[in-house]
Structures are given as structure tokens and as C-alpha cells.
Amino acid sequence: MGLLIATVEGIVELGAAHHIADTRMQHVARSRDGWWAVDASGVWRGPTRVATAPPGVRFTCVQPVPDGAWIGADSARLFRLRQGEMTEDEFFAEAPGRATWHTPWGGPPDVRSLSFGPDGVLYINVHVGGILRYDNTGLAATVDIESDVHQVATHPDVGGMVVAATARGLAQSSNGHDFDFRADGLAGRYCRAVAVLDDTVIISSSSGPRGEGSRLYRAPVGGGPFQPCTVGLPEVFDGNLDTHCLAAGPDGLFAANGGAVWRSWDQGETWEVVADDLPQVTAIT
């Protein structure tokens, strides 16, 4: 199975004409033996809906793990689905710093993205609440919540290597605890999506929440300024290239904006359109 594309009308596979699931999906994520997805009120394991959200809960994102999945939700809630049983995580419900979590518009914060590292550590991005590291010792707050994190991602092969798209540029850690910020070369520091592949990090950046001047940038993981990705991409995107709309894997890098998807085989140096007539894309994996 190749790239999966979650849209406002369902999930499609790149190059396939039919929908795999016909409901608006919030997020889709690859697992070792298939894929998981969430719509606002349920969890999908492949094309089958396997769980329903508790009353009053809206699901936002999903992270497969070897024995099931973690599911993020509104009001900064975290659920675990294991052997068909859905439970809210009691430790996250009492997470350090929770009283300070907020949103710019005054509503309740959400779990916006999740990422599971090769060392078995779960990273939880709360908007706005920073990034929490969750391992067998418990929960620990990491990056400052005022950095306004929009997506967290782990390196698929290197434990402790974590990147995040924030309103201050790229936040990056080599140990999963301490984060440094990088923005050299970015025309705007407001970042929404991030992916890491081998020794390259790709990030979407604009001047703010409305997405003025939205572009993709690439840089070495080891440091150095960001360079704009220009070959094969629009001069600017139509609004922000959003959370979960970058993906990295054996088939290359993918980026989605509006109803279009682009692919890069050379770590973001050049791109080509692979789909341009889709419903609004919400996530890719």
C-alpha cells in the first residue's frame, strides 16, 4: 500500500479511484501491518471502525503502537485503545502544567499531534501546551508552551531525535528532553507541519495563522540554514500547509495542500505533482 490520503470525504490511496473509507477523517497513520485513522467520533483500524468516542469527546489524532493505539482528543484528553478496550489515560489527565494550557481564542486546548519514537517514547503535542514526553517513568513537560507547537515528529530510526513545528520556527531535540530553536533562512517563523527523513528535516512556514507566504523549507538535521523548496512547487501555497500534511517514508517525501499532493524523491530538493483533484486533504501518511 502506498500513500494514504485522508480528506473531508474519506480516505483514498494515491493512484486509486475509490475511497477506502467514506467519512471525513481527522487523521490517518501508518502501522507496521496496515493503518489507523480517526474521525471526530470513532477509531478506524483499516477500513473497519473499531471503537467509538465516549460521549462528549471529539478525536483529533491517532498514533499506532505495537499493542494498539494512542488517541488524542479535544479538551487535551488522551485515550488508549488496547485489545478492543478504550480507556482515558489517568496520568495525562493530571499532567504537569495542565492548568496553564490554553488556546489563543480562549477555547479548551486539544491534543493536536502524537509521535512514537523508535525507543518506545510517546511525544504528545498539546495546542497550546507544548510537548510532553511519556515513557515508563511517567510524563515530563519539555518545550515551553508559549512556543505554540503545531506538530511533533520523531525520527524513525534515531531514539531521542524529535522535531516540532512551532510559531517560533523548528524546535529540535537530540535527547527527547531539551529543545533548541532553528529559524535561520525561514522567511516567516510560523510553522505548521514537519517531517524528518534520514538526515533532512522538512518544515512548512508562513508569516502567521492565515498562511501568508506559505512555503516548504529543508535543512540538514545536523544544523545550518533552511533553504526554500522551489522546484516543482507553487511559489506560495494557498494558506498554511497544515499539521499532518507532510509525510516521509520509503516512497519519498509527500506534501499536501488544498486538494493537491506533491512528491519528492531527493529529500525535498525537487518535487512533482502526483494528485491535484482531491477533496480538501486533512492528513497524509
The pLDDT tens digits for 95-125 are 989 999 999 888 899 999 999 999 999 999 9
Q: What percent of the chain has pLDDT over 90?
A: 92
At residue 67, the pLDDT reads 94
* 228, 241 Cβ separation under 8 angstroms: no
Rounded distance between C-alpha atoms, residue 201 and residue 55, angstroms: 39
C-alpha dist (Å) from residue 216 to 41, 42, 150, 267, 278: 32, 32, 15, 12, 20
Task: State mean pLDDT over 54-67.
Answer: 97
**CA 243 → CA 139, 153, 259, 276, distances in Å?**
23, 11, 15, 19
Q: What residues form DSSP beta bridges with 51?
A: 43
pTM equals: 0.97
For 247, half-sphere exposure in the C-beta direction (CA atoms, 13 angstrom radius) is 25
| DSSP code string of 195-259 | EEETTEEEEEEESSTT-TT-EEEEEETT----EE--BTS-SS-SS---TT-EEEETTEEEEEETT
Residue 80 has pLDDT above 90, yes or no: yes
C-alpha cell at 169: 520556527
Q: What is the mean pLDDT of residues 162-181?
A: 98
